[in-house]
Amino acid sequence: MKAEQNRMDVVANNLANVDLTGFKRDSVSFKAFPELLMRRFDDDGVRKLPMGSVDIAPIVGKLGTGVETNEVHTDFSQGSFKQTENAFDFALEGKGFFAILTPDGERYTRNGTFTLGPESLMVTKDGYPVLDEDGEFIKVKANNFVVDQDGKIFINRRFQPNDERLVSMTENEWEDTIELGKLKIVDFISGVAGTRGDRHLKKQGNSFWIETEDSGPATIIPDSRRPKVHQGFIETANVNPVTEMVRMIEVNRAYEANQKTIQTHDSLLGKLVNEMMRV
């Protein structure tokens, strides 16, 4: 029942975040306790032979001793893209994470819903700066920057010197651009053989992940396997609400079945105790 309760918590959390940009669903795996072999009590199971004896006690069957939660891991499969036409929205096609600087240090996210913050910095919805490959903040102006699929940031040289000048899309012809920098997109090389580094990342809330000892340090992805960056798009959660609802029903029924089994066992045990007391 405890295992089913943990499974319900995971499913409920998936459903609660179905509309969160870049959210990755969790799944839970279980580990069974050792099974026991059952034999008949009224049969000693010993056959005498001229050269000794053999154990022939009939095995009735196996008795399961339950399961426990082994691991809650994240499914990093690609979510679908949703077009927003907002220049500060980004989606990654492939493995990788945006690098964000928080008060607790560098954190990583698939949520590319950014905005223009104080001092013309590109920041998250919580106000944390987005980093480029040099570890610097990205300073842009609304309607005066574009990001290509390699994550390179270009701005219009014509409007760059004047920080206070507002730019409209109609006047921006992109005739003279300069490269401002490149979005820092990282991945993880696991120290555990046979597993991906992102499998061992730890969720921290606000769509952030933090590296662990098993995940290995964040490494900037080389151009040869760098994910494509799509400006004006967001990546939706990889949660299927229908599938999660079906799982929730399964968990609820399994929990109720275990509950009824315990109640029946408790009732029979009570009757046995009463009969023994009468004797």
54 or 209: which carries more pLDDT confidence?
A: 209
% of the chain at pLDDT higher than 90: 47
225 or 174: which carries more pLDDT confidence?
A: 225
d(CA 89, CA 83): 9
Mean pLDDT of 81-106: 95
140 or 37: which carries more pLDDT confidence?
A: 140
Torsions phi, psi for 105 (to 5 deg): 115, -170
Distances (CA, A) of 65 to 5, 33, 62, 251, 268: 17, 6, 10, 19, 20
| Predicted confidence band of residue 102 (pLDDT cuts 50, 70, 90) | very high
Mean pLDDT of 178-196: 81
Does residue 40 have a pLDDT over 70? no
Torsions phi, psi for 180 (to 5 deg): -85, -35
pLDDT at 183: 96
Does residue 44 have a pLDDT over 80? no
Residue 253 burial (CB count, 10 A):
11
pLDDT at 276: 82
d(CA 136, CA 148): 19
Nearby residues of 183 by Cβ (< 8 Å), 6 or more positions away: 90, 98, 130, 132, 133, 138, 147, 151, 153, 229
pLDDT at 240: 94
Does residue 162 have a pLDDT over 80? no
In the chain, where are the structural domains located?
A: 2-43+59-74+240-278, 81-235
| Predicted confidence band of residue 279 (pLDDT cuts 50, 70, 90) | low
CB-CB contact of 101 with 131 (8 Å) = yes
Mean pLDDT of 85-100: 95
What angle do the packed helices 241-278 and 2-16 form, to 10 degrees?
160
Which tens digits make up the pLDDT trace of 51-76? 777 666 667 778 777 788 888 889 99
CB-CB contact of 70 with 24 (8 Å) = no
How is residue 153 written in tokens? Answer: 């940031």
pLDDT at 198: 80
Mean pLDDT of 94-100: 95
d(CA 152, CA 119): 21
| Predicted confidence band of residue 41 (pLDDT cuts 50, 70, 90) | low
pLDDT at 164: 62
| Predicted confidence band of residue 96 (pLDDT cuts 50, 70, 90) | very high
How does DSSP classify residue 263?
H
Which tens digits make up the pLDDT trace of 138-156? 998 888 889 999 999 998 8
Nearby residues of 98 by Cβ (< 8 Å), 6 or more positions away: 90, 92, 108, 109, 110, 111, 112, 130, 183, 184, 185
Does residue 29 have a pLDDT over 90? no
Does residue 43 have a pLDDT over 70? no
> Rounded mean pLDDT of the chain?
86
Q: Which amino acid is at 150?
A: D
Give this prediction's pTM.
0.79
CB-CB contact of 109 with 98 (8 Å) = yes
3-state secondary structure (DSSP) of residue 172: coil
